[in-house]
Amino acid sequence: MKPMKLVRYRPEYREAIIELHHSAIGGLVTGIDQHDEEADLRDIEKVYFNDGGEFLVGLLEGRVIAMGGFQRVSDTSAELRRMRIQPDLQGQGYGTQLLRELERLALQSGIYTLSFETARARPLTLEFYHKHGYQETGHGFYGKVETVHFSKTLNNSL
């Protein structure tokens, strides 16, 4: 595995992360207007940073190959959002590297619970989060897509 460099989001990465988002969700029909569905990606500073969240971009030889963040929902909890790895690079450890760093930053900022939802139709994604200690807490829908809700209590062993 070539080393991935994780950096805090900057506006010059906007178009590359939107392209990465499109490649990662290929095949899922949400039924949600694309502009609405991507609104947080077009205003990361406001959506993530202004409320004490974080958004990281993974670079491999200068190319955006990963992204993910967390959006604070209370003083001690946040929602993990937009975890994406370039499809041809999945399964090589980049997702684990990104997730661990987001968990570390969340804990450092006083967040003890991370939760999120992801598509049930993505069995490898579900397996990834189970492997990293996330527990299923329910299910629902994101537009037309059936989702599984996950949560994890963070601790200082990160």
Residue type at 17 in one-letter notation: I
Q: What is the pLDDT of residue 38?
A: 83
Domain extent at residue 104: 5-115
In a domain, 66, yes or no: yes
In a domain, 109, yes or no: yes
User: Per residue in 128-156, pLDDT tens?
Assistant: 999 999 999 999 887 777 899 999 999 87
Phi, psi dihedral angles at 52 (to 5 degrees): 85, 20
Angle (CA) 112-114-120 rounded to 5° is 160
Q: What is the pLDDT of residue 30?
A: 52
User: Per residue in 6-47, pLDDT tens?
Assistant: 999 999 999 999 999 988 776 655 555 456 668 899 999 999
User: Per residue in 58-112, pLDDT tens?
Assistant: 999 999 999 999 999 999 999 999 999 999 999 999 999 999 999 999 999 999 9
Q: How many domains does the chain have?
A: 1
Instruction: Give the residue ranges of DSSP H helices in 25-93.
Output: 34-37, 39-42, 44
Q: What is the pLDDT of residue 72?
A: 97
In a domain, 61, yes or no: yes
In a domain, 121, yes or no: no
In a domain, 125, yes or no: no
In a domain, 131, yes or no: no
Residue found under tokens 């006083």 = 110
Q: What is the pLDDT of residue 117?
A: 93
- Note the Cα 80 to chain centre separation in Å: 5
Q: What is the CATH number of the domain that holds 76?
A: 3.40.630.30
Q: What is the pLDDT of residue 64?
A: 97
Q: What is the pLDDT of residue 119?
A: 85
In a domain, 26, yes or no: yes
Provide the Cα torsion 90, 93, 97, 98; round to 10°.
Answer: 0
In a domain, 149, yes or no: no
pTM for the model stands at 0.91
